[in-house]
Structure 1
Amino acid sequence: MDAELYTQLDTASVPEARPACSLGGTVYARLRDALLNGEFGARESLAELRLAARFGVSRTPVREALARLHTDGLIEREDGGFFATVPNLAQLKDFYELRVTLELRGVARAIEDSSVRHDPAVLTAELERWYAMRERPPAPDPRFVVQDERFHAELSRASGNPALTEALVTVSERIRRVRMYDFLTRDRVQTTITEHIEIMELVRDGRLDEGYRALHAHVGDSMAVVMERAQRAMTQMALHAGRI
């Protein structure tokens, strides 16, 4: 089950970054996925020759892909080379605050406007996935973050505002390299599964005020707690650099 579970986000349910309509675009998409999934260590150089060999292309499409990823903010240039961008604590705080705002807005808009209804089909389908995980909890793995992101993307998508969902997915991707190391213990994975089911059942049942409070607690009621968790995750990332 774990091998099947730990895959990319379902691209049918979240916005894609950009279409890969050229060789450079294809390399960009594949390298972007590799970066977001932590396949490169924090200080691992993204050398053109090595990447060209990895993707079976010349250096030109690799150079094009690196330029686009640099513009996206996913890689940074240092000492004449490119490296994966790792947000510092100040940036993480900003991203987390934005994430909390986007997450809660999806539920808040339904509380404020009775005509806004969460799509029951989306909620039911996602709940079924988490019920299955509750029955057979996956092993702790950094890649569990992809499942976590999918839950939050689907909860947002069910609220009916595609712009909110797109913004949430973008923010989640920017902090994935750090957040993925928050899922290295069995207790953490099981707690996440339990809380996800509770939140989505409350929203599904129309208990929106309770769902809002549960979601707020889940994504970080206290910024101090969030930042402590982020610091721990960054330490784990440094310890596991290059081992994924």
Structure 2
Amino acid sequence: MADVYKELRAAIVAGEFDAGAPLGEVALAERYGVSRTPVREALRRLQQDGLVERGDRGMRVRVRSPEEILEIYEVRIVLEGAAARAAAERRTRIDLARLRAAAEAMAATDAADGMAMAAANRAFHETVWAAGHNQTLTDLLMRLNDHLARYPATTLTAPGRWENALAEHAAIVEAIDARDADTAATRAEAHMAAARDIRLEMYTRELP
């Protein structure tokens, strides 16, 4: 039997359902070949995850909004700072080698390929999270990343952002290498604040 929660969650994150798209129990039960009971449970869990919401006519994919962008980044800025701080305090030599490799891989990525840029950027951030050795923090950041995945265009395609992101990542690695927790946290927070501002600008340009 299909794991409706996992499959529907992946489909929403991947953009297979538009923002605001209705999520009828009957249609989803037919799509996944199950009864309405597991669909109802999946929708309940996805509502807790913040990926779906209740609309006028039942459940729907959560609508995108500037308020949501601000909410997500408000939390992510804090958590990314905490992750960088933890990495500076707890990183091992292996963690540091992996961070440098992730940064180098990102620098070698084709700047004309938005999907590759986004994947390399995520790999770098996940390496920072892993270096902090705090699984709860990593789990929270993974969930936040899923929310941002519903906004398909990457901020890294904005003019000058790729070059700035590479420099900001290098500065974060430098602070982690030096075990300077305060500086690592500050640089990570500033990095995410810059991404927030670009994300809001991109959203504004997409409005009709």
Shorter chain as denominator, the TM-score bin is: 0.7 to 0.9
1:174 maps to which of 141, 147, 158? 147
Structure-1 residue corresponding to 2:65: 88
- Deviation of 1:59 (Å): 4.4
Q: Are the structure 2 counterparts of residues 102 and 136 from structure 1 closer, same or farther at C-alpha, using a change threshold of 3 Å? A: closer
Partner of 2:42: 65
Q: Measured at CA, do residues 58 and 108 of structure 1 come closer, stay the same or move farther in structure 2, by a change above 3 Å?
A: closer
Match of 2:125 in 1: 152
TM-score by length of 1: 0.66
Do the aligned residues in 2 keep the contact of 1:144 with 1:180 (CA within 8 Å)? no
SS for the counterpart of 1:178 is coil
Question: C-alpha displacement at 1:199, in angstroms?
Answer: 1.9
1:232 to 201, 204, 208: 201
Quote how far apart the aligned CAs of 1:189 are.
3.8
> Which residue in the other structure is 1:161 paired with?
134
Q: Which residue of 2 aligns with 1:14?
A: none
Task: Tell me the amino acid that sits aligned with residue 192 of structure 1.
Answer: A
Question: Letter of the aligned partner of 1:188 in structure 2?
Answer: R
Mapping for residues 9-24 of structure 1, pairs under 5 Å: 23=1
* Alpha-carbon distance in structure 1 between the residues aligned to 2:206 and 2:21: 13
Identity of aligned residues (%): 28
- Structure 1 residue aligned with 2:108: 135
Query: 1:31 aligned to 2:4?
Result: no
Q: Secondary structure of the equivalent of 1:83?
A: strand
From the two aligned structures, give the one with the greater helix fraction: 2
Change (3 A) 1:200 1:180: farther
**SS at 2:59 equivalent:** strand
Contact persistence 2:87–2:131 (CA under 8 A): no
Q: Which residue of 2 aligns with 1:99?
A: 76
Q: Structure 1's 138 and 66: CA in aligned 2 closer, same or farther, altered over 3 A?
A: farther
Question: 3-state SS of the aligned residue for 1:137?
Answer: coil
Which residue is 1:78 aligned to? 55
Residue 131 of structure 1 and its aligned partner are, at CA, apart by: 1.4
Q: How many residues align?
A: 207
- Aligned pairs for 1:171-210 (under 5 A) are 171-178=144-151, 180-185=153-158, 187-210=160-183
Q: CA deviation at 1:171?
A: 2.7
Give the C-alpha shift of residue 218 in structure 1: 0.9
> Do the aligned partners of 1:156 and 1:165 also contact (CA within 8 Å) in 2?
yes
Letter in 2 for 1:71: Q
Question: Do 1:145 and 1:179's aligned partners in 2 also have CA atoms closer than 8 Å?
Answer: no
Kept in 1, the 8 Å contact 2:103–2:170? The answer is yes
State the one-letter code of the partner of 1:40: F
CA distance in 2, matches of 1:105, 1:120: 20
State how far apart, in whole Å, the 1-side matches of 2:35 and 2:15 are: 22
Letter in 2 for 1:65: A
Alpha-carbon distance change, 136 to 87 in structure 1, aligned in 2, over 3 angstroms: closer
Matched residue type, 1:70? Q
TM-superposed CA distance for 1:186, in Å, is: 7.0
